[in-house]
Amino acid sequence: MNVIYAVAMLFALVIVVYVHAVIPTFTRGAIKRAVAHGVLVATGIAVGVVWELIPGVSTAHWLVFLAGFALIHTPSAAILLIKSLRRAGKS
């Protein structure tokens, strides 16, 4: 079971790193980039903390936090991947 958690954690980290690495490629303007990073991080932290506070969770709290944090980044990763495949410009 620990191997599954390690793989899930690695996958979650890859999603988060991918999103934050690719945002500058598709976002025009430093302020828009900063807002995109800030909103994703703040929302990810908020969801991670709320998930961590759910009573009765038997999984490690840091893993639950990471899952919530990565969940917020997943739609952005999908959108950025599609934009990358289409070779879209900055917006």
For 24-62, what is each residue's pLDDT tens digit? 998 899 999 999 999 999 999 999 999 888 888 777 788
Percent of the chain with pLDDT over 70: 99
The 10 Å CB-count burial string (b at 16+, else e) for 17-28 is ebbbebbeebbe
Q: Is the pLDDT of residue 1 over 70?
A: no
Beta carbons of 44 and 69 less than 8 angstroms apart: yes
Instruction: Enter the pTM of the model.
Output: 0.84
pLDDT grade for 5, boundaries at 50, 70 and 90: confident
Show me where the domains of the chain are located: 2-85
